[in-house]
Amino acid sequence: MKQDYENTNPKPLAPGHHPGPLPTDVREPGVWDDTPEAINRRKFLTQLSIALGGLTGVALVVPVAAFIVAPLFKETPIVWRAVGDLNKFKVGETVQVSFDDSSPVPWAGITAKTAAWLRRTGDSSFICFAVNCSHLGCPVTWLPGARLFMCPCHGGVYYEDGKVAAGPPPHSLFTYDTRVNNGQVEVRATGVPIPT
Amino acid sequence: MAIIKGILGWLEDRTGLGAAVKPVLDHKVPYTNWKTGWWYVLGSAVLVAFMIQVISGIALSTSYVSSAGEAYNSLKFITDEMIFGNFLRGMHFWGGSAMVLLVGAHALHVFIVGAFKFPREVNWLSGVVLFFTTLAMGFTGQLLRWDQTAYWSVIVGADQAARTPFIGESLAKFVMAGNTVGGATLSRFFAYHVFFIPGIIFLFIGLHLFLVIRNGISEPPERGEAVDPKTYRQRYHDLLEKTGVPFWPDAVWRDAVAAIIVVLGVVGLSIFVGPPHLEAPPDPTELRVYPRPDWYLLWYFSVLALIPPAAEPYVILGGPGLAIVLMIILPLIANKGERSPLRRPWAMGFVLLLVIMISTLWITGLVSPWSPDLTTKPIDPAVLKLSDAQTQLGAKLFYEKGCQYCHAIDVYGPSDASQPGSPRVVGGARGPDLSTTGSRLTKEQIVVRILNGGNSMPQFGTLLTPPELDAIVAFLQTRKLPTGEHQQGKANEVEVSTNQKK
């Protein structure tokens, strides 16, 4: 019996020497116990093995996939971040400010920060532009002499109100909400603006 | 000798490894001569480059810290302090470069000789997966350098993903692993680069090689020998019987030559050129940055810069999408017929177009004329030799109002042929060179242009006071060709008409 079984192994691969597809069924009649009970038993064991294998897979994949994907669905609580004393900012002046992201991980290091362009427009009113160009997200620079924002990647230019002046950007610069709280200017840290 | 033979004999008896490998080594492959044979080394050369990547990558991972706060410092340490650290980083960069280059060359060769046709369709499809995973390794690998460019590349990547309809925002958040680029981002990219993507690559290399053995290496194409699925296998079989040669060593020796060339090339570049320079740390508050992709994606950077903004929503997603779809359907719709490039003029025309397109975009990307030069410095008034106060003010404003970021100017003037020590031409290449604009445009034309701007130029109408405008115009009018070489006339009309179209 054992000898027969070994003989039914497919031959080693010999490329170019098998014009047809590989044989899929190598079982020759008479090799196996072909009584109905034996066939039923094999059928059951096949289904059992596939079911158990599937279950094992699910048991492994579900927690792992959940671990990997879950953080992406977690809503980050958005917080206000102070960027400086109200008196520090002169009306009409555009300055770079930086603040911590809403919920940085402890090992984020300097990448926990976000930069923005802040301009005091009145007594207690501010406008805060994201640094990210609306084209592909590169950081725009404020040119005080020209009163323009300019992007170093593809030459996008914005007027001082954030509207597109030239180049490829599809829309105005994104803005963050601002407020004055206890003499501090605060910016709502909503993260990197995602153009949609 | 007898002892070694005994040990080997025992091992073979207990494992059967030799018996398993021998048919692979002995299997017949089509005879190739010196003209056709060398092209077949490209595939194995990619594999060699991949092995370099695995080995150098494992070595680097022993010291790299995949934490957003520490990655940069650990790379600095690897580069500056560790023995062979700089060399290994170079090896990983140049090995990756070789892999991208060779995988592209391999795919192109397979396309040119029609080796993707029956029965090798799945060879090609598994190769498509390997092609794109290789590019993905390039992109994720550049990010692990975790310097300024890496930081901004993640954002640029996320912003491109964000253009996807419906799921764009989720995709962008997936790329950044949150709503900002921070601690979670790098850890994830590390996992992609070191576990996920290499896992896929290993799997598909296994399938790819299995299929190479199973379907046999394609024979050099002959004109008039069209592939017919009904007869091809028999014909290939007969060809091997008649003129086939054993894979080992008749075909392998060329692969061995190619392997040593790849390895020596990578080692040489690592020693003499070294790894890419580590830029400043990934500080999001440092905004004077000039993010550029590594060379293998530079041509795509050019695409994004040069397409009309209105076409962007389609190109950013449709471009790569179309490439993937075309590569997948290719072997499914074109799996029979002539393989010889001499009988496939459309396919060869396409190859020519592709090569010209990508090389042109590449060269343009190296210059990046669309990027303003934010590093340009004010021009030294002494060099300009301007006599009156108004033009001197104009030169100053030319810098302060941002003109010089986009417009180049010959500071000595074209009439001065002397070769001074400092660079003659300053400013960016985004807009036209204004060195001779005084000869090309009248005062009114210059004024109209400045006030109204254009597609790539802001309207300075509200940004300049009348005296400032006058000063800049006066300064530009001093930028002239030497007397006698005036170009006014036809050129002006062209300039003005494009002006008004915009």
Final residue before a domain boundary, out of B297, B319, B335: B297
Asked if residue B355 belongs to a domain, the reply is no
B164 shares contact with chain A (CB less than 8 Å): no
Calpha distance B470→B176 (Å, rounded) = 48
B88 shares contact with chain A (CB less than 8 Å): no
Asked if omega into B119 is within 30° of 0 (cis), the reply is yes
Instruction: Grade residue B484 by pLDDT with cuts at 50, 70 and 90.
Output: low
Mean pLDDT of B152-161: 91
The pLDDT of residue B145 is: 94
The reply to whether A94 and A60 lie within a common domain is no
Final residue before a domain boundary, out of A15, A44, A73: A73
The CATH number covering residue B253 comes to: 1.20.810.10
Chain A, nearest residue to B459 by Cα: A165
The reply to whether A41 and A88 lie within a common domain is no
| Sign of the four-CA dihedral B175, B178, B182, B184 | negative
The reply to whether A124 and A184 lie within a common domain is yes
B residues 293..352 contacting A (CB < 8 A): 304-305, 309, 312
Asked if residue A194 belongs to a domain, the reply is no
B235 shares contact with chain A (CB less than 8 Å): no
Q: Which domain holds residue B92?
A: 31-219+247-297
Asked if residue A32 belongs to a domain, the reply is yes
- Could A136 and B156 be called an inter-chain contact, meaning their C-beta atoms sit closer than 8 Å? yes
Asked if residue A195 belongs to a domain, the reply is no
Chain A, nearest residue to B188 by Cα: A68
The reply to whether A116 and A25 lie within a common domain is no
Q: Please tell me whether residue A97 adopts helix, strand or coil conformation.
A: strand
B interface test, pick of A73, A107, A174 with most B CB neighbours within 10 Å: A107
Final residue before a domain boundary, out of A13, A47, A73: A73
In the block, tokens 């001569």 appear at B33
Instruction: Grade residue A10 by pLDDT with cuts at 50, 70 and 90.
Output: very low
Calpha distance B353→B356 (Å, rounded) = 5
The reply to whether A52 and A116 lie within a common domain is no
Which among B176, B290, B312 has CB closest to A152? B290
CA angle in degrees (0–180, nearest 5) for B143-A171-B282 = 20
ipTM: 0.83
Final residue before a domain boundary, out of A42, A73, A104: A73
Q: Which domain holds residue A21?
A: 2-73
The pLDDT of residue B491 is: 44
- Max Cα-Cα span within chain B: 99
The reply to whether B392 and B276 lie within a common domain is no
- Check residue B195 and report its DSSP letter: I
Instruction: Grade residue B167 by pLDDT with cuts at 50, 70 and 90.
Output: confident
- Could B287 and A136 be called an inter-chain contact, meaning their C-beta atoms sit closer than 8 Å? no
Ramachandran bin of B369, using left for φ above 0, alpha for ψ from -120 to 50, beta for the remaining angles: alpha
Render pLDDT for B247-301 as a digit per residue (tens, 0 to 9).
999 999 999 999 999 999 999 999 999 999 999 999 999 988 888 888 888 998 8
Which among B173, B304, B400 has CB closest to A154? B304
- Could B177 and A72 be called an inter-chain contact, meaning their C-beta atoms sit closer than 8 Å? yes
- Could B182 and A108 be called an inter-chain contact, meaning their C-beta atoms sit closer than 8 Å? yes
B277 shares contact with chain A (CB less than 8 Å): no
**What residues of chain B lie within 8 A of the CB of A147, using their CB?**
463
| CB-CB contact of B335 with B123 (8 Å) | no
Structural domains in chain A (count): 2
The reply to whether B290 and B431 lie within a common domain is no
The one-letter code for the residue type at A180 is V
- Is residue B379 predicted with pLDDT exceeding 60? yes
Q: Please tell me whether residue B438 adopts helix, strand or coil conformation.
A: helix
The reply to whether A128 and A160 lie within a common domain is yes
Number of Cβ atoms within 10 Å of the Cβ of B324: 13
B183 shares contact with chain A (CB less than 8 Å): yes
User: Looking at the DSSP assignment, which residues form a beta bridge with residue A175?
Assistant: A129
Asked if residue B359 belongs to a domain, the reply is no
Structural domains in chain B (count): 2
The reply to whether B188 and B69 lie within a common domain is yes
Instruction: Grade residue A28 by pLDDT with cuts at 50, 70 and 90.
Output: low
Nearest-CA distance from A133 to chain B in Å?
A: 10
**What residues of chain B lie within 8 A of the CB of A190, using their CB?**
179
Asked if residue B424 belongs to a domain, the reply is yes
The reply to whether A22 and A63 lie within a common domain is yes
Q: In residues, how long is chain A?
A: 196
Which residues are CB-neighbours of A139 under 8 A, at least 6 positions away? A115, A131, A132, A133, A151, A152, B152, B287, B289
Asked if residue A45 belongs to a domain, the reply is yes
- Is residue B69 predicted with pLDDT exceeding 60? yes
Calpha distance B201→B137 (Å, rounded) = 10
- Could A111 and B402 be called an inter-chain contact, meaning their C-beta atoms sit closer than 8 Å? no
Asked if residue B363 belongs to a domain, the reply is no
| CB-CB contact of A73 with A104 (8 Å) | no
The reply to whether A86 and A48 lie within a common domain is no
Which run of H or E residues covers position B500?
helix B490-501
C-alpha Rg value of chain A to the nearest Å: 33
The reply to whether B494 and B397 lie within a common domain is yes
Chain A, nearest residue to B149 by Cα: A138
Long-range contact list for B302-309, CB < 8 A, 24+ apart? B302/B361, B302/B362, B302/B364, B302/B365, B302/B368, B303/B361, B304/A136, B304/A154, B305/A153, B305/A154, B305/A155, B305/A168, B305/B368, B305/B370, B305/B371, B306/B361, B306/B364, B306/B370, B309/A168, B309/A169, B309/A170
- Could B374 and A152 be called an inter-chain contact, meaning their C-beta atoms sit closer than 8 Å? yes
- Is residue B139 predicted with pLDDT exceeding 60? yes
Number of Cβ atoms within 10 Å of the Cβ of A63: 10
**What residues of chain B lie within 8 A of the CB of A166, using their CB?**
453-458
B interface test, pick of A164, A174, A176, A194 with most B CB neighbours within 10 Å: A194
How far CA A182 is from CA of A85, A95, B241, in Å, comes to 9, 21, 90
Torsion (CA) B264, B270, B272, B273 in degrees, nearest 10: 130
Q: Please tell me whether residue A157 adopts helix, strand or coil conformation.
A: strand
CB-side neighbour CA atoms (13 Å) of B37: 17
The reply to whether A47 and A107 lie within a common domain is no
The pLDDT of residue A8 is: 44
- Check residue B307 and report its DSSP letter: S
Final residue before a domain boundary, out of B297, B329, B356: B297
Final residue before a domain boundary, out of B297, B312, B331: B297
| CB-CB contact of B412 with B480 (8 Å) | no
The CATH number covering residue A105 comes to: 2.102.10.10
What are the phi and psi torsion angles at A164 (to 5°)? -65, 125
The pLDDT of residue B423 is: 65
**What residues of chain A lie within 8 A of the CB of B23, using their CB?**
12-14
Instruction: Grade residue A44 by pLDDT with cuts at 50, 70 and 90.
Output: very high
Which residues are CB-neighbours of A23 under 8 A, at least 6 positions away? A10
Asked if residue B352 belongs to a domain, the reply is no
**What residues of chain B lie within 8 A of the CB of A168, using their CB?**
305, 309, 312
Nearest-CA distance from A182 to chain B in Å?
A: 25
Sort strands B245-246 and B409-410 into parallel, antiparallel or unpaired: unpaired
B374 shares contact with chain A (CB less than 8 Å): yes
The CATH number covering residue B452 comes to: 1.10.760.10
The reply to whether B276 and B408 lie within a common domain is no
The reply to whether B135 and B43 lie within a common domain is yes
Calpha distance B396→B409 (Å, rounded) = 13
Asked if residue A64 belongs to a domain, the reply is yes
Q: Which of A41-45, B250-254, B381-385 has the lowest mean pLDDT?
A: B381-385
The reply to whether A52 and A131 lie within a common domain is no
The pLDDT of residue A24 is: 55
Mean pLDDT of B216-229: 93
The reply to whether A157 and A124 lie within a common domain is yes
Mean pLDDT of B366-371: 86
Q: Which of A111-115, B155-159, B228-232, B387-391 has the lowest mean pLDDT?
A: B387-391
Token readout for A181 is: 């709280």
| CB-CB contact of A187 with A178 (8 Å) | yes
Nearest-CA distance from B84 to chain A in Å?
A: 27
The reply to whether A9 and A97 lie within a common domain is no
Calpha distance B110→B121 (Å, rounded) = 11
Mean pLDDT of B409-434: 75
Asked if residue A193 belongs to a domain, the reply is no
